Amino acid sequence: MQKSIQRRSFLKTTATAGLSAVLVQKFSRSDLDAAPAAAAKPVVISSANGLEATARAMELLKQGKDALDAVVAGVSLVEADPKDNSVGYGGLPNEEGVVELDASVMHGPTGRGGSVAALRNIMHPSQVARVVMERTDHALIVGEGALKFAKAHGFKEQDLLTDESRAEWLKWKENLSPNDDWLPPHDINAKGIGKVVEAYQRHHGTINCNALDLNGNLSGCTTTSGLAFKIPGRVGDSPILGAGLYVDNEVGAAGSTGRGEANLLACSSVMVVEYMRQGKSPEEACLMACERIARQTKMKRLLDGEGRPNFDVKFYALNKRGEYGGAAIWKGAQFAVNTGEAKSRLVEAASLYKRASG
């Protein structure tokens, strides 16, 4: 089994740690208590599609805005971008051609969170999730109820399916089977058409964004249109606090993208934060979450020939000291970072495995 250099180094480090649980806890607690003195430097991290989001968030952080104001403003740019078909307007639809959106927010200073799931016709689910947090006694509102709630608070309905996303949905639908009545474009000589799904990659896409503000406070947001062509009503990890997003203002913030079902079963984001509480770096904590998912994956259809997950999940983490990191099951992932000194940039994430070359 071929694994990345980062993975081997990570296992060696954790295997030789030698500290008792009590000492690790004491060490991490004292570190965190000392963090606020060095926390005046703002930091924003996000998934790789968040270069614009992290730049906007940093602008607001430099103005003294709260971390939650910053991350919601940042991801709202991506939600409104029709070219990003993983989030908001232009997101790829469910199997019936309807765009359904999920989002969550957590505010470190107050310990509050809110989320929406299977929300239709509203471009900015991240903003609706924030209103759930601020204007209700609930943490999660879904489906028709989420739409009614959004409309009650002045959010306007609109068709979220762009021509590009509609074309992708029709391509998928027309190639499910050669035995149904949906056919792709063809001429009179064509035979056996309508069956290329094996070669058609279904899209997982999301944006997670976490920030540390000038006051040393943390917040995060995750927003998505979910798995392309999903069963209507399907909800992944993005709106589930503890799975797709988790923030503890004393420790750190973490979020994820990728196969939501795997992350739901592992509740990984809260685990990343807990690993950081134990003294792990953000990168080490993200790698541990990846390993947890790999260990929990038992279904043969979800494993490759070497027993490794045949899907990817990516994690992004930021601790109270402003240290950041990311990791993925498979090598090649990146994440966006802005530390205020320059433009947002992409950084390579650590990984558990790398694919054989060629």
Q: List the beta bridge partners of residue 47.
A: 335
Tell me whether residue 222 is one of the annotated catalytic residues. Answer: no
Please name the residue that has the structure tokens 């999940």.
313
Q: List the beta bridge partners of residue 222.
A: 104, 208
What Cα–Cα distance (Å) separates residue 220 from each residue in 290, 326, 349? 20, 15, 19
SS3 115: strand
What Cα–Cα distance (Å) separates residue 25 from each residue in 28, 248, 261, 276, 292? 5, 16, 31, 10, 21
* Pairing verdict, β 345-348 and 334-338: antiparallel
How far is residue 117's CA from residue 68's CA, in Å, rounded to a whole number?
Answer: 19
Is the distance from CB of 116 to CB of 125 less than 8 angstroms?
yes
| Residue 73: partners with Cβ closer than 8 Å, 6 or more residues away | 56, 57, 60
Task: Please tell me which residue in 54, 206, 223, 224 is annotated as part of the active site.
Answer: 206
Is the distance from CB of 103 to CB of 236 less than 8 angstroms?
no
Catalytic positions, written as ranges: 206
